[in-house]
Amino acid sequence: MTFVVVILGLAALILIHEFGHFITAKLLGMKVEEFGIGFPPRLFKKRFGETDYSVNLLPFGGFVRLQNEDGSEKGGFNDEPARKKIPVILAGIFMNLLLGWLLLSVVFAVGAPQHLMILEVAPGSPASAARLLAGDVVSNLKAGDMNFADPISSQDFTGAVKGAPNIILGIERGSKKMNIEIAPRLNPPEGQGPLGVNITETGFVAQPISSAFVSGFTGVWETSKMVIEGLVMFFGQLFTAPRAIENVAGPVGIVFIAAQATSLGFIYLIQLLALISVNLAVLNLLPFPALDGGRFLFLIIEKIIRRPISKQFQIWVNGAGFAALILLMVFITVKDVVRFF
């Protein structure tokens, strides 16, 4: 049941994004030919009015197909002015940011139990060798004569681990509970720490509604900055440290991490969905073919050079970008299956 709730939640993020494109196009008088969940091949479709609503086999996203989007005929989206195209292209990003803000506001208004959670595990570290995973909750910690129980502060965790020859971590992973013995490193690589984990304290006291909305907005802003910084670091390490891709999660990995978050309480699933929604918004802003940011970049270039870019060239570039994204998602999905199963 938990996995069903998680999958429905992730599907809702995609629906919200595509609904942004859909409703903006409708409001601006454009014809929407298809609203699709997932990518073809198509499983089934149903027509309402002038639009086909479809469910497709590849569960990696969704799409909205506008009339004459590829420029193969007269009229439709291709012949609309930039002042109409730009809102349609950016509407999905706006909807994901809006949803992230609303969900985080709910989280801050309700509050959440406090836990110490592992956010990231460095490849080749003692934590990686012990098979710790992102999303694991540290429920207790024993280092020599020191014993800590949930909730454990990050300060206590760092102090206990540093210099300890051996520690025992009590880990909660979904419904599973286990004790894992680890030997911290004395001279770890810079930025990794003795275990090679990035940890965070989850949970907070409920806030008044007005303060919760302000905190939600701040949360979206801070999350956006962290995503951008993370992307810069990831692409910087992609060629110098190829193993960096091991920490990237695809659809399967996200479902498992979200299921772990749900085991801590439903409010944690809401929080994670909010963060994923903001991640989707920032990722879609990347000027990469087939993403919203790539389509926006084409419009900006056309404005600068004051002439349209060849539609055939755009189709080829977006097709290549789409194929690259699908291959990347398949690769990460296979990696996640091996990792989690």
Average pLDDT over the chain reads 83
Most confident among 94-103, 253-262, 315-324 (mean pLDDT): 94-103
Please choose, from the candidates 96, 183, 182, 99, the residue with its C-alpha nearest in 3D space to the C-alpha of residue 136: 182
Report the greatest alpha carbon distance in the chain: 77
Residue 257 has what pLDDT?
A: 66
Instruction: Give yes or no for a contact between 278 and 272, defined as CB atoms under 8 angstroms apart.
Output: no
Of 50-64, 65-79, 133-147, 171-185, the range with the lowest mean pLDDT is 65-79
- Which of residues 332 and 180 earns the better pLDDT score? 180
Residue 253 has what pLDDT?
A: 62
pLDDT (mean) for 31-50: 89
pLDDT (mean) for 10-19: 87
Residue 255 has what pLDDT?
A: 63
Four-point Cα dihedral 102, 103, 106, 110, nearest 10: -170
pLDDT by residue (tens digit) across 244-289? 556 666 555 666 666 666 666 778 788 888 988 998 899 889 888 8
- Cα–Cα separations (whole angstroms), residue 299 to 89, 139, 157, 215: 10, 51, 50, 34
pLDDT (mean) for 185-204: 82
Most confident among 15-24, 119-128, 298-307, 313-322 (mean pLDDT): 15-24
Instruction: Give yes or no for a contact between 116 and 152, defined as CB atoms under 8 angstroms apart.
Output: yes
181 in helix, strand or coil?
A: strand
Of 133-142, 152-161, 187-196, 247-256, the range with the lowest mean pLDDT is 247-256
Residue 1 has what pLDDT?
A: 58
For the residues of 45-80, what is the DSSP string, one character each?
EEEETTEEEEEEEEEEEEEEEETTTTSSSSSSGGGS
Q: Which residues contact 321 (CB under 8 A, 6 or more apart)?
A: 288, 289, 290, 291, 294
Inform me whether the pLDDT recorded for 95 exceeds 70. yes
- For residue 41, cis peptide bond before it (omega within 30 degrees of 0): yes
∠ Cα 69 70 73 (to 5°): 90
What's the CATH fold of domain 112-204? Answer: Pdz3 Domain (2.30.42)
How many other CB atoms are there within 10 angstroms of residue 93's CB atom?
22
- Cα–Cα separations (whole angstroms), residue 148 to 142, 195, 256: 7, 17, 27
- For residue 289, cis peptide bond before it (omega within 30 degrees of 0): no
Residue 213 has what pLDDT?
A: 95
pLDDT (mean) for 197-201: 84
Please choose, from the candidates 50, 79, 82, 86, the residue with its C-alpha nearest in 3D space to the C-alpha of residue 65: 50
pLDDT (mean) for 225-237: 78
Inform me whether the pLDDT recorded for 109 exceeds 90. yes
Q: Where are the domains of the chain?
A: 1-110+211-292, 112-204
Q: Which residues contact 223 (CB under 8 A, 6 or more apart)?
A: 100, 275, 278, 279
Half-sphere exposure at residue 99, Cβ-oriented, CA atoms within 13 angstroms: 28
pTM over 0.75: no
Residue 90 has what pLDDT?
A: 94
Inform me whether the pLDDT recorded for 33 exceeds 70. yes
